[in-house]
Copies of this chain bind each other. A is one copy, B any other.
């Protein structure tokens, strides 16, 4: 997460353009908004997105190819290749934020944009020099409370981010950095991963089953192959999910409305549902409450 702030510090001046996979991770929007850039939404689910046009004159394009927050969608390999090609053609950096790549419940995932871009790199022993800025973190695979992440990028970008970080907080705690090294050395991620996939995958299935039972009349959604979220869109376009968020709180259920994932704060028909925190029974109860809130809100629309 801090890397997003530092990328903004390095690349964005007021009025600069950046492109972002739409809908966009709320924390990323929060980190860049104080620098007052111009946001250009990239909807990677449409078939007619012109990647080069979207990235022309942009300082960088922000993407979460693996099970993005909020949609949980997997960006296909062909789209990743087009993103990398457009980055090379336009000179924009391609930020690949990958907190959820380890949470794939249904099989292998496509190569990362970093790997794809490295295919074209000369094999001369020098460090990676491509357009991708890859962000990794322990937050979803081990513990969010460690607050340790990492960046893989070309040497000049690493140097700029290091200077930017020094001016922001000098450095990350040496203690949590050493713990991170030990976590890697001990293979903790590999040993925890099957347990997490079983737990979270089961909860995903439980949430989707509960949604089928209670929410199918009101929402459409896609099956998320990984990550932490189901992203649902209201069938009735009059259903404002900012309003649903408030009615939901009265029913003691909390969903995240889509407007917070839109740089223009306009999209009000979606909700993000998390399935990793709660067990199957609580997920069922939450969905029942959400259905009740939806019915109440729809009743006021007549």
- The answer to whether A168 touches B33 (Cβ under 8 A) is no
Per-position contact with B for A147-171: 1 when CB-CB < 8 Å, else 0? 1100000000000000010111111
Q: Tell me whether B167 and A34 are in contact (CB under 8 A).
A: yes
Q: Which B residues touch A148, using CB under 8 A?
A: 173
Contact (Cβ within 8 A) B9 A167? no
Chain A interfacial residues counted at CB < 8 A: 27
| Given A173-B176, A174-B145: A166 and B5 interface contact (C-beta under 8 Å) | no
Q: Looking across the interface, which residue of chain B has its beta carbon closest to that of A28?
A: B167
Q: Is A57 located at the chain interface by the 8 A CB criterion?
A: no
Residue A1 interfacial (CB < 8 Å): yes
Q: Is the interface of A mostly helix, strand, loop or mixed?
A: helix
User: In whole angstroms, how far apart are the Cα atoms of A24 and B269 in the complex?
Assistant: 52
Which of chain B's residues have a CB closer than 8 A to the CB of A174?
Answer: 145, 147
Looking across the interface, which residue of chain B has its beta carbon closest to that of A32? B167
Report how far A33 CA is from B164 CA in the complex, Å: 11
Bound: A34/B14 CA distance, A: 12
* Contact between chains at A9 and B30 (CB < 8 Å): no
Q: Does A175 contact B (CB under 8 A)?
A: yes
| B residues in contact with A164, CB < 8 Å | 34
Please name the residue on chain B nearest to A148 by beta carbon.
B173
Contact (A27, B170) CB under 8 Å given A9-B34, A34-B9: yes
A282 to chain B, nearest CB (A): 23
Question: CB distance A1 to B34 under 8 Å?
Answer: no
In the complex formed, the residue of B with least CB distance to A167 is B30
Shortest Cβ distance from residue A9 to the other chain B in the assembled complex, whole angstroms: 6
Q: What is the CB-to-nearest-CB distance from A97 to chain B, in angstroms, rounded to a whole number?
A: 14
Residue in A1, A5, A173 with the greatest tally of chain B CB atoms within 10 Å: A173
**A179 nearest CB neighbor, chain B only:** B175
- Min Cβ gap A138→B in Å is 11
CB < 8 Å: which of B33, B146, B147 contacts A169?
Answer: B147
Please tell me if the beta carbons of A1 and B147 are within 8 angstroms of each other in the complex.
no
Give 8 pairs: A residue, B residue, CB < 8 Å, sorted on A: A2-B168, A27-B167, A30-B166, A30-B167, A33-B167, A147-B170, A147-B172, A176-B176
Closest 4 CB pairs of A and B: A145-B174, A2-B169, A30-B167, A147-B173
